[in-house]
Amino acid sequence: MIGLRVNGNRFETESDPETPLLYVLRNEMQLNGAKFGCGLGQCGSCTVLVDNRPVFSCLTPIAMLAEREITTLEGLGSIDNPGPVQRAFIEEQAAQCGYCIPGMIMRAHALLSENSAPDEAIIREALEPSLCRCGTHMRILRAVHRASKGLQEQASAAGESNR
Amino acid sequence: MTTLGQMELSRRTLLKGGGGLVLYFAISPRRLPAQEAPGPTAEPQQLPGSLSDSPFLDSWIRIESDGSITVFTGKAELGQGIRTALTQIAAEQLRVEFSRIELVTADTARTPDEGYTAGSQSMQHSGTAILHAAAYLRRMMIGFAAEALGVSANDLKVEDGVVVSSAGDKRSYGQLVSGRSLHVTVPDQAGFFDPENYTVMGQSLPRVDIPAKLTGQQSYVHDLKLDGMVHARVVRPAKPSARLANLDTSEVEKMPGVLRVVRDGNYLGVIAEGEFQAIKAMQALQSAAQWEGGASLPADADIYEHLMRLPAVSTVVHGPETPTSPPGGARIVEATYTRPYQMHGSIGPSCAVGHFQNGQLTIWSHTQGVYPDRTAIAEMTNMDEQAVRVIHMEGAGCYGHNGADDAAADAALLARALPGRPVRVQWMRDHEHQWEPYGSAMVVKVQGSVLVTGEITSWNYEVWSNPHTTRPGPAGNLLPAQLISGAFQPEAPTNIPLPAGGADRNAVPGYSIANARVVEHFIAEMPLRTSALRSLGAYMNVFALESFMDELAFAASVDPVEFRLARLEDPRARDVVTTAADAFGWNDWARRPGHGRGFAYARYKNLAAYCAVALELDVDRATGRIRIGRAVAACDSGHAVNPDGIRNQIEGGLVQSASWTLFEQVRFDGDGIQSADWAGYPIMRFPSVPETVGVHVIDRPGEPFLGTGEASQGPAAAAIANAVADAIGVRIRDLPLQPERVRTAMQV
């Protein structure tokens, strides 16, 4: 029995400890956000956050994750109340097939948590591990800039109200 | 459809319809030409779009007495946005709130048979059918309301599915349709559209599928969860045509969770309760299986010579039977262009769910063709077609015939081995990379000549290619059907004839060039399995043709954009060329070392969307690395139903084509396919994508929809090649334009 903390909830699984996190998320917890892409850590479709850092859930055995804080796409918001990065992607219509986008959103979220005002080069570098095949890259970049702008506006508004 | 058939249909419709319908039909514009037809030999008028195959209104739209509206399409959402665009068309023509329409996509039990969702034809086929069907339905509703209210149709308008008279009397669609049949033939509605008053068509409405995809809702077949569902994986032969010589399955059968090892001839798979259990069992099976023989592939470096030595059917597809010789005094240019095998490389590997119960087989698949797949799967499993249902669910983007259909066949075989339980099968990355059908390697040789005046005096173009469509329909085109005992043989491939073309798609220049001659060498024997990859032969033909246009322009010392405009007559073609050139700032462009600009144009298939691309790039002289800066595209897709959807497709196609053009090549040798993952088949990553991409949509309200999804593949490739030649002063004619190739070219 391994206890996982996913999106703030505790979940216990009896799966083999070497099972990659991705299969527990998708099949036992019904969390569809993280996707299987390659199983090799080459494409980033399976990206989730562990203690706020992006990891490839297709490669990470659950044995390594006991009591670590796991965040998936579903932890950022819902269809009725999307999180700021999700909202920015929706507003920019930054998807074609959309399969890779959850991984992009997780990576963008991790970046913006550390640096709310990254420049273009930093964003590109941060998204480098994630592949998109539809060629939606330009919209994805715009969405991350939009989310960044939103966060900065939020921060300056918070600063104003604290003054 | 024969004239007799047409009369049959009309009579049946009349018998089935209510009194109001008969009256309506008597005045319908569709019937007038039929009644006035000169004789029985006259060809019936072709109905617009997919109405030609599915002419009945209730195949496309149903209205319940509670007013709920369902629209049906045989096409599938592939991430291209048709779910949104088709709904916009229906909402506009029905004058109903967009959000009230439910759209049902490709499902053999529910929707019309529209063949494959391919060839950038969803808007032309399905969009046009829904356009006419919805417009006709609205007119019918107005007709019924006029009758019911005893007023003239001119006195009525429609507000969100309610017909309202000037006196304020109302009848809802639900009331009007009650007790009436919509099983009537849809007549051509040309002449009844009023695009200047549209409020939904032409708007960049946000895509309806995006919020669910971006928040983790069940969106893909990969996400489908059914009660009692189990997981399967397949084991493919060590290389194509290898034979399963030896296998002891006893150890694998004892592994945790394993329910069934499925072995049939050279077909091998395993079903387990859990997904990771299935993967571990698959790995154990892979180690246990011993394979013999198999096809010996040539080395990838030798593929062009190898292909050109194979038997080919050679046809002059355009121009004079014999080549025109260059006249004296003309500058002669000769060039050979090559394109390697390239893969679809879907980010999500192919997946399907099968459920076999009580003799009925249901398959959920991201196939592009539910009906052809049903035919193929029924043949493979020796089942009656009526006992097989194929339901489309989205997958990751496919960009053509990838592993989807084969995975659907896997699901069929595996589900039949475990009746009663839904079986989900998903390929591993190496399955997708090594077993999907590739876009064909191709060779183009061109000889042309040009006078100092800029006149093109000869144009002799030859293209060598493997097939560009080997899709199922016949079971033999399904990979699993080729592996089971009593193996089905693949159907002899054929080329899609011009004007759309397959190997020769866009091989015929869209320019006025006297005596241009185009020869196609169709090579049916496939060293590597090939099929439809986004734009088929057009990617290579436009790359070659538009590279060659630049080579001739250079020889004649004429600006490449001017050189093209001088032989483009179609005003819409001229518009996309000048729009792209102006938006890019072609004439004011400033040169600096290592920097180049390139231009290219094509009308996809010479009959679909017009697209021109202008871009600039830098070539690093030390590394040979190409960095695309600003890219600008202009596109004319006819009536633009959702301009942002068009921009998304053109922009995505441009970036994808840039990836093909700069990076992509399937590697193989005598031991088989070596491009087994993303390390062995690198594609574009974020640091290499263009700095900016701008797309200018030229809207043509009221004009027919022109397929857009594949329009930028060719122009993007040629614009890059032309810009590289401009930057380094040397022409590279072999794809992809990898750094070592660029470095070698610069040393020459």
For residue B231, which residues of chain A lie inside 8 Å, CB to CB?
A: 27
Please name the residues in contact with B606: beta carbons below 8 A apart, sequence gap of 6 or more: B499, B506, B508, B510
CB-based contact B80:B182 (threshold 8 Å): no
Q: Which two tokens stand for residue B207?
A: 């895509």
- Quote the CA–CA distance of B500 and B656 in Å, as a whole number: 22
Structure confidence at residue A162 (pLDDT): 67
Structure confidence at residue A163 (pLDDT): 63
Considering the domain architecture, whether residues A33 and A91 belong to the same structural domain is answered as: no
B79, B215, B678 ranked by CB distance to A96: nearest? B79
Q: Which two tokens stand for residue B396?
A: 């990751």
Considering the domain architecture, whether residues A5 and A60 belong to the same structural domain is answered as: yes
Nearest CA in chain A to B660: A133
Q: Which two tokens stand for residue B524?
A: 């049916």
Q: How far is B626 from chain A (nearest CA, A)?
A: 17
pLDDT tens for B370-384 read 999 999 999 999 999
The values of phi and psi at residue B184, to 5°, are -130, 155
Please name the residues in contact with B83: beta carbons below 8 A apart, sequence gap of 6 or more: B77, B103, B105, B207, B208, B209
A32, A77, A134 ranked by CB distance to B397: nearest? A134
Q: What is the mean pLDDT of residues B383-401?
A: 98
Considering the domain architecture, whether residues A81 and A71 belong to the same structural domain is answered as: no
Q: Which two tokens stand for residue B535?
A: 């734009």
What is the per-residue DSSP string for B335-371? EEEEE--B----SSPPEEEEEEETTEEEEEE--S-HH
Structure confidence at residue B46 (pLDDT): 86
Q: Which two tokens stand for residue B39?
A: 């004789």
3.30.365.10, 3.40.50.2300, 3.40.50.300, 3.90.650.10: which CATH number matches B221-293+344-435?
A: 3.30.365.10
A1 lies in which domain range? 1-75
Q: Which of A134, A144, A145, A146 to mutate to test the interface with B (most CBs of B within 10 A)?
A: A134
3-state secondary structure B204-249: CCCCCCHHHHCCCCCCEHHHCCCCCCEEEEEECCCCCCCEEEECCC
CB contact under 8 A, B209 and A130: no
Q: What b/e string do you get for B458-480 counting C-beta neighbours within 10 Å, with b at 16 or more?
A: bbbbbbbbbbbbbbbbbbbbbbb
Q: What is the mean pLDDT of residues B213-225?
A: 98
- B44 falls in which pLDDT band (50, 70, 90)? low
Considering the domain architecture, whether residues A83 and A71 belong to the same structural domain is answered as: no
CATH label of the domain that carries residue A19: 3.10.20.30
Q: How far is B660 from chain A (nearest CA, A)?
A: 11
Structure confidence at residue B28 (pLDDT): 34
The mean pLDDT of chain A is: 96
CB-based contact A21:A11 (threshold 8 Å): no
Instruction: Write the single-letter amino acid at A81.
Output: N
For residue A123, which residues of chain B lie inside 8 Å, CB to CB?
A: 686
Distance of CA B613 to the CA centre of its chain: 20
Look at residues B598, B601, B660, B607 and name the one whose alpha carbon lies nearest to residue B630: B598
Structure confidence at residue A161 (pLDDT): 74
Partners of residue B618 on adjacent β-strands: B595, B627
B23-32, B147-156, B205-214: least confidently modelled range? B23-32
Q: How far is A137 from chain B (nearest CA, A)?
A: 7
CB contact under 8 A, B215 and A86: yes
The total domain count for chain A is 2
Asked whether the predicted pLDDT for residue B323 surpasses 70, the reply is: yes
Considering the domain architecture, whether residues A129 and A141 belong to the same structural domain is answered as: yes
Considering the domain architecture, whether residues A59 and A84 belong to the same structural domain is answered as: no
CB contact under 8 A, B687 and A125: yes
Partners of residue B334 on adjacent β-strands: B447
Strands B456-465 and B517-522: parallel
Residue B174 falls in which region: left (phi positive, over 0), alpha (psi -120 to 50) or beta: alpha
Look at residues B419, B431, B363, B368 and name the one whose alpha carbon lies nearest to residue B391: B363
Structure confidence at residue B418 (pLDDT): 98
Q: Rounded to whole angstroms, what are the CA distances from B349 to B325, B542, B677, B697?
A: 50, 29, 11, 33
Q: How far is B400 from chain A (nearest CA, A)?
A: 12
3.10.129.10, 3.30.365.10, 3.40.50.2300, 3.40.50.300: which CATH number matches B304-341+438-468+503-747?
A: 3.30.365.10
What is the per-residue DSSP string for B249-270? -HHHHTSTTEEEEEEETTEEEE
The DSSP element (H or E) to which A142 belongs, if any, is helix A137-162
Asked whether the predicted pLDDT for residue B516 surpasses 60, the reply is: yes
Nearest CA in chain A to B658: A135
Please state, as a whole number, how many other Cβ atoms lie within 10 Å of the Cβ of residue A47.
30
B213, B426, B654 ranked by CB distance to A98: nearest? B213
B231, B654, B678 ranked by CB distance to A42: nearest? B678
Strands B267-272 and B230-235: antiparallel
Q: Rounded to whole angstroms, what are the CA distances from B729 to B366, B601, B662, B748?
A: 45, 21, 18, 11
Please name the residues in contact with B524: beta carbons below 8 A apart, sequence gap of 6 or more: B311, B313, B466, B467, B492, B493
- Quote the CA–CA distance of B373 and B116 in Å, as a whole number: 10
The DSSP element (H or E) to which B668 belongs, if any, is strand B668-669
The mean pLDDT of chain B is: 93
Structural domain boundaries in chain B = 3-210, 221-293+344-435, 304-341+438-468+503-747
- B19 falls in which pLDDT band (50, 70, 90)? very low
Instruction: Write the single-letter amino acid at B106.
Output: A
For residue A37, which residues of chain B lie inside 8 Å, CB to CB?
A: 347-349, 396, 429
CB contact under 8 A, A32 and B223: yes
Look at residues B467, B495, B397, B351 and name the one whose alpha carbon lies nearest to residue B117: B397
pLDDT tens for B585-622 read 999 999 999 999 999 999 999 999 999 999 999 999 99
Pairs of residues, one from chain A and one from chain B, whose beta carbons lie less than 8 Å apart: 183
CB contact under 8 A, B80 and A36: no
- Quote the CA–CA distance of A138 and A134 in Å, as a whole number: 11
Considering the domain architecture, whether residues A37 and A109 belong to the same structural domain is answered as: no
Please state, as a whole number, how many other Cβ atoms lie within 10 Å of the Cβ of residue A122.
13
Q: Which of A45, A96, A140 to mutate to test the interface with B (most CBs of B within 10 A)?
A: A96
- A47 falls in which pLDDT band (50, 70, 90)? very high
Considering the domain architecture, whether residues A69 and A82 belong to the same structural domain is answered as: no
Instruction: Write the single-letter amino acid at B184.
Output: V
For residue B397, which residues of chain A lie inside 8 Å, CB to CB?
A: 96-97, 99, 133-134
How many alpha carbons fall within 13 Å on the CB side of residue B498?
15
What is the per-residue DSSP string for B165-195? ETT--EEEHHHHHTT----SBPPP-TT---G
CB-based contact A48:A23 (threshold 8 Å): no
Domain ends where: A60, A75, A90? A75
Look at residues B635, B399, B405 and name the one whose alpha carbon lies nearest to residue B536: B399
Asked whether the predicted pLDDT for residue B183 surpasses 80, the reply is: yes
Residue found by looking up tokens 């394993």 in the block = B258
B80, B677, B689 ranked by CB distance to A138: nearest? B689
pLDDT tens for B300-319 read 999 999 999 999 999 999 99
Q: How far is A16 from chain B (nearest CA, A)?
A: 9
Considering the domain architecture, whether residues A34 and A82 belong to the same structural domain is answered as: no
Considering the domain architecture, whether residues A33 and A4 belong to the same structural domain is answered as: yes
Please state, as a whole number, how many other Cβ atoms lie within 10 Å of the Cβ of residue B302.
12
What is the ipTM for the molecules in this complex?
0.97
Nearest CA in chain A to B646: A96
Structure confidence at residue B127 (pLDDT): 97
Structure confidence at residue A134 (pLDDT): 98
Q: Which of A19, A32, A122 to mutate to test the interface with B (most CBs of B within 10 A)?
A: A32
Please name the residues in contact with B201: beta carbons below 8 A apart, sequence gap of 6 or more: B88, B89, B92, B195, B639, B641
Q: Angle at CA B438, nearest 5°, toward B432 and B443?
A: 155
Residue B143 falls in which region: left (phi positive, over 0), alpha (psi -120 to 50) or beta: alpha
What is the per-residue DSSP string for B300-311? GGGHHHHHHHS-
Q: How far is A161 from chain B (nearest CA, A)?
A: 31
Structure confidence at residue B538 (pLDDT): 98
Q: Which of A124, A133, A139, A145 to mutate to test the interface with B (most CBs of B within 10 A)?
A: A133
Give the CATH number of domain B3-210: 3.30.365.10
Asked if the domains B3-210 and B221-293+344-435 are classified in one and the same CATH topology, the answer is yes
Q: Which two tokens stand for residue B422?
A: 């839904």
CATH label of the domain that carries residue A148: 1.10.150.120
B16-20, B140-144, B722-726: least confidently modelled range? B16-20
CB contact under 8 A, B686 and A137: yes
Considering the domain architecture, whether residues A102 and A67 belong to the same structural domain is answered as: no
Look at residues B381, B340, B633, B328 and name the one whose alpha carbon lies nearest to residue B488: B381
- Quote the CA–CA distance of B50 and A152 in Å, as a whole number: 50
Please name the residues in contact with B494: beta carbons below 8 A apart, sequence gap of 6 or more: B467
State the DSSP code for B55.
-
CB contact under 8 A, A124 and B687: yes
Q: Which two tokens stand for residue A85?
A: 């990065």
Please name the residues in contact with B481: beta carbons below 8 A apart, sequence gap of 6 or more: B376, B379, B380, B409, B475, B487, B488
CB contact under 8 A, B347 and A133: yes
Asked whether the predicted pLDDT for residue B269 surpasses 70, the reply is: yes
Residue found by looking up tokens 């592949």 in the block = A131
Considering the domain architecture, whether residues A13 and A54 belong to the same structural domain is answered as: yes
The values of phi and psi at residue B517, to 5°, are -125, 130
Residue B265 falls in which region: left (phi positive, over 0), alpha (psi -120 to 50) or beta: left
Q: How far is B282 from chain A (nearest CA, A)?
A: 14
A97, A101, A135 ranked by CB distance to B653: nearest? A135
pLDDT tens for A83-136 read 999 999 999 999 999 999 999 999 999 999 999 999 999 999 999 999 999 999
CB-based contact B36:B196 (threshold 8 Å): no
CB-based contact B13:B25 (threshold 8 Å): yes
Structure confidence at residue B328 (pLDDT): 92
CB contact under 8 A, A16 and B276: yes
